[in-house]
Amino acid sequence: MIKRYSTKETDALFSEVEKMRRWLEIELCVVEELASAGVVPPEAAAACRSHAPTIDEAFVARVEEREAITNHDVAAFVDVVQQAIGAPHGTWIHYGLTSTDVVDTGLCWALRDASEHINSALTELISTTVDLASNHRATVMMGRTHGIHAEPTTFGAKIALFGLQLVRDRERLRRAMENISVCKLSGAVGTYSNITPDTESRVAARLRLVAVPATQVIARDRHAEYLFACASIGTTLETIAVELRHLQRTEVNEVREGFSAGQKGSSAMPHKRNPISSETITGLSRVLRANAQVGLQDVALWHERDISHSSAERIVLPDSSSLALYMTRRMNKILANLEVDSGNMLANLQKLNGAVFSQSVLLRMVENGMTRDDAYRIVQDAAAISFNTGTHLREVLAQNSSVTLSAAQLDEAFDLQRVLQHAGRAIDALLAAAK
């Protein structure tokens, strides 16, 4: 991932140094468990551990030099490790293994750790939505459908629904994390011809992974599920971001992204305050969804293995992990510093002079015995008069002899608190789900 959108955690997890540290630990665990099973001499296993090379940039450089000859990254890695340990003990490194045993197990290990970081960031973001929704439980605003004023809602309810979607994303991520936290050490084509299932399981336990049956590679539906979980998180973040972008428009002006001291909104226009963080999240979510498509295309491989998935995964798995973490943290910063203009929310709600209560009036008239279509036409015509004259809808209706509602019934129809009496349900649901 380019530096602008990377995180230090994912940069470290998917670095060449950390990748080869995982590879080395897998190799050493296998040798030690084979020694426990009586396959490898105990002194050889001890020597492999004690003489194992330090994995650093210099080691990676040596592997890269060797790879220029072998044209195979794992073979080069094994050669350099065996040379560092020395014969005869070093020759037990990679005994009974094929390259994808090490690569796939190491990759699943990295994705599990990446999932834990993303899960932590999601939990923090969900907590922020809980606080924001709770603080704005009674903050009245205009609900919109098709971008047009519909009926009143609350800002707290809006945020709570976003929070509930994030909770579902966290559940999806946790399922994907469980399915990606696996280990495969069953050798070429996965038949355990030289490594027993028991040895595989013992190594897996040491790595906090679960041993699973596989061909020569771990089935890629697991990786596709992980990429989908990242894309789903990104799509939810985009959903929030698009809403905030609309609400920050000059004509609406109900929320604003925080603006730090010294920040500039435009290189040319000093007055500008743009929703740049929300726009960034919108753009990056497209990358996550594209990567998820790559993951699905990587599932179908030839026979017991090919490497058509490998090149693509070197890009999309680290990048999606990094983006999901980066975007979640950035959205948390947006919401934690969001400026909410409750006064402008109320002013916007009142712009249509009560027309947003049209459904309430319609239903009261139906309750009084009028057919729905007749009531609809009367209220529709009254709303048009209200729009054109700037007269409050209640006043227009009160002057219409076709409207048989009493003053008390009209008051009830235009009662904002009645309309919003159950708007807190979403907030209560978020409070329960976020625990």
Sign for the CA dihedral angle at 53, 54, 59, 63 comes to: positive
Q: At CB < 8 A and 24+ separation, what contacts does 297-300 make?
A: 298/220, 298/223, 298/224, 299/219, 299/220, 299/221, 299/224
CA distance 384 to 280: 40
- From 50, 146, 303, 401, active-site residue: 146
Q: Is 178 exposed, middle or buried (0-12, 13-18, 19+ CB in 10 A)?
A: middle
- Catalytic, 146? Answer yes
Nearest CA-CA partner of 357 in 349, 346, 367: 349
- From 51, 72, 193, 266, active-site residue: 266
Cβ neighbours for 260, distance < 8 A, ≥ 6 positions apart:
none
DSSP states of 113-128: HHHHHHHHHHHHHHHH
Nearest CA-CA partner of 63 in 100, 116, 20, 96: 20
DSSP states of 322-363: HHHHHHHHHHHHHHHT-EE-HHHHHHHHGGGTTGGGHHHHHH
**Residue 31, SS3?**
helix
- List the Cα angle 353/355/360 in 5-degree steps: 130
Nearest CA-CA partner of 337 in 434, 261, 399, 227: 261
Contact 178, 192 (CB under 8 A): no
Contact 95, 31 (CB under 8 A): yes
- Catalytic, 6? Answer no
- The verdict on whether omega for the bond into residue 42 sits within 30 degrees of 0, i.e. cis, is no
**Please, how many CA atoms are within 13 Å of residue 73, restricted to the half-sphere of its CB?**
12
**Strand 339-340, strand 255-256: pairing:** antiparallel
**What residues are labeled active site?**
146, 266
